[in-house]
Structure 1
């Protein structure tokens, strides 16, 4: 009875999230994802470039390592993104810093798609326990929102190239922030991502050796499969389905598929923490399970917590309390690198 009520609650929440959204046309926009002189006019050509990006270890590397442009302002860190888009507000990154008074550990939070506010409760909870919390705005969210938009439609959409560009921008922004934190003297850096934010956090953890811990809530491997099957992305699928097969979408968004980087995520100096919802209709449990199996097959030993709730009802007691306590225990564990002789 209770779980049926939870399912209905999640469905009502999903319907509210659809307000203001509409189906649009599939657009390649390959030059946004893979800048270059070559003009791409077909899905197959786009997929070839995506395959090359998956094989390129530098695709998610920062284009520069300049320390210029960082500004501290009343608890905020503001800095320019290394990817320039046609939305001026999106090109300036805002991150809210909640200091802990210690330089032992910092955690960077990547919120969910269309988040309406940062989470002061999480930031205060962990800062009181010696962890500085930095809540970064992902592309087209919060202070970086596109003027006139009612949701972050430019970060995840039927525009294949802009979606790749946006996720890559989020990764590069996060890596730039992490480099700044290291320069400030923070020893251990953790990343924490929720839903779409877990893809950004996971990609950063896979590519940045400065990250020692990664906590991924409501996650899976293939972003293409999540969009194709998930309740929250139904309108995106409606836009894509007449023009592209799922097999091609998997290739087109291959650079964003965490399953392609499981060996990097399984590196011995990275701890992984995963929280999943067994009744999730947005990130289907079978997609998450496939990702867990791929991680384990690569040698990773993730700390996995599965809760009997839905995607949105994870935010309700007792589930959010169980997830928060699990995250606290995970972050309190000794760093692997500190244990090695």
Structure 2
């Protein structure tokens, strides 16, 4: 039997892990700059026009949060779907002023038998498709549909260095972008159902966990939802997270955290804990104890909200940081937890 590492060895390893996570955070933040604080309510609330005052914006947001149809794509069961080899494309039901963003791209990795599918929502500013994860699941019988989130990959805004329109100090545009990602995800699920898939799960990574969680909360077709590095309140994540410091720099002189939470109420997964607690939905949350992007206390608060609503999520806490979840052994542990969750029969 191999000897367990000493306490000192473990301390040194975790210190190195923290430094590696900080290096990754600095790398990502190099291209991010503070942008102007904007409401732009008309992007997400029809008829709002040149609405002034954050209080009015918050009132519209709280109304939208209570409106079940807010996340219902208008053409959910129909669209111009085109499948060519490993790619599925279609027009988003939510049209933006960035034309290239209005075409949705989905990378399909086929598994056999073709009866179970996993829709994957990647992290903010992802630079490549998660092919290792897709191959891992496909070899174990799951067809994987990796959806391109707004303003990423083929949908990137021309001239942008990162997905600044997906998450920013523009309150209306961020609401619009996340709503678009949910609408697009639900359209993919409709396509999968029409193609014969009976069991559909969603997997979200970091920012993608908010999209995946909102899809699961609003779409009864989803039977399992795995949320990696999630935190419930997107407003709190942006306000406290290492990766979003430039956004907070823009927000802090203009709006307080309490108002900010109300403005982004439709993006707070905790507000939909009751829907996530439905009997037909299984939940897995994978958290990083050393996370400085999505603070662990935010994740734990969300877990309490789920449990108070009657949900019984499986929770896996790993002693790593946000970025080091991608390193061994943590990526292997997370992958094993995901597979056991998706495939409890084996």
**Alignment TM-score > 0.5, same fold:** yes
Q: Distance in 2 between matches of 1:40 and 1:187?
A: 44
- Could you report, residue by residue, the CA deviation over 1:197-238 in whole angstroms, capped at 9, with x for unpaired residues? 000000000000000000000001100000000000000000
Taking a change above 3 Å as real, the CA distance of residues 55 and 68 of structure 1, as seen in their structure-2 partners, is closer
**Corresponding residue number in structure 1 for 2:44:** 33
Check whether the contact 2:120–2:144 (CA below 8 A) recurs between aligned residues. yes
**Corresponding residue number in structure 1 for 2:175:** 164
**Corresponding residue number in structure 1 for 2:22:** 11
**Corresponding residue number in structure 1 for 2:60:** 49
Q: Distance in 2 between matches of 1:300 and 1:273?
A: 11
Taking a change above 3 Å as real, the CA distance of residues 277 and 37 of structure 1, as seen in their structure-2 partners, is closer
Alpha-carbon shift at residue 2 of structure 1 (Å): 1.0
Check whether the contact 2:121–2:146 (CA below 8 A) recurs between aligned residues. yes
Q: Does 1:259 align with 2:270?
A: yes
TM-score by length of 2: 0.95
Alpha-carbon shift at residue 37 of structure 1 (Å): 4.9
Alpha-carbon shift at residue 333 of structure 1 (Å): 2.1
Q: Distance in 2 between matches of 1:67 and 1:102?
A: 25
TM-score by length of 1: 0.97
Select 1:318's aligned residue among 329, 332, 336: 329
Q: Distance in 2 between matches of 1:99 and 1:64?
A: 26
Check whether the contact 1:215–1:327 (CA below 8 A) recurs between aligned residues. yes
Check whether the contact 1:103–1:187 (CA below 8 A) recurs between aligned residues. no
Alpha-carbon shift at residue 39 of structure 1 (Å): 3.5
Taking a change above 3 Å as real, the CA distance of residues 37 and 230 of structure 1, as seen in their structure-2 partners, is closer
Select 1:111's aligned residue among 108, 122, 130: 122
Q: Distance in 2 between matches of 1:73 and 1:182?
A: 18
Q: SS of the counterpart of 2:119?
A: strand
Q: Does 1:223 align with 2:234?
A: yes
Q: CA RMSD in A?
A: 0.9
Q: Distance in 2 between matches of 1:38 and 1:268?
A: 41
Select 2:209's aligned residue among 194, 198, 207: 198
Q: Does 1:99 align with 2:131?
A: no
Alpha-carbon shift at residue 246 of structure 1 (Å): 0.3
Correspondence 1:1-341 to 2 at 5 A: 1-333=12-344
Check whether the contact 2:40–2:50 (CA below 8 A) recurs between aligned residues. no
Alpha-carbon shift at residue 68 of structure 1 (Å): 3.1
Alpha-carbon shift at residue 38 of structure 1 (Å): 4.6
Single out whichever of 28-37 and 272-281 deviates more from structure 2: 28-37
Q: Distance in 2 between matches of 1:307 and 1:47?
A: 36
Alpha-carbon shift at residue 59 of structure 1 (Å): 0.6
Q: Distance in 2 between matches of 1:64 and 1:119?
A: 28
Alpha-carbon shift at residue 35 of structure 1 (Å): 1.6
Q: Distance in 1 between matches of 2:90 and 2:330?
A: 35
Alpha-carbon shift at residue 147 of structure 1 (Å): 0.5
- Could you report, residue by residue, the CA deviation over 1:235-260 in whole angstroms, capped at 9, with x for unpaired residues? 00000000000000000000000000
Alpha-carbon shift at residue 66 of structure 1 (Å): 4.7
Q: Distance in 1 between matches of 2:232 and 2:300?
A: 9
Q: Distance in 2 between matches of 1:124 and 1:254?
A: 36
- Could you report, residue by residue, the CA deviation over 1:149-180 in whole angstroms, capped at 9, with x for unpaired residues? 11000000000000000000000000001001
Q: SS of the counterpart of 2:342?
A: helix
Greater than 4 Å deviation, 4+ residue runs: none
Structure 2 unaligned segments of length 5 or more: list them.
1-11
Single out whichever of 32-41 and 146-155 deviates more from structure 2: 32-41
Taking a change above 3 Å as real, the CA distance of residues 308 and 185 of structure 1, as seen in their structure-2 partners, is same
Equivalent residue pairs, number: 334
Q: Distance in 2 between matches of 1:88 and 1:8?
A: 40
Check whether the contact 1:90–1:145 (CA below 8 A) recurs between aligned residues. yes
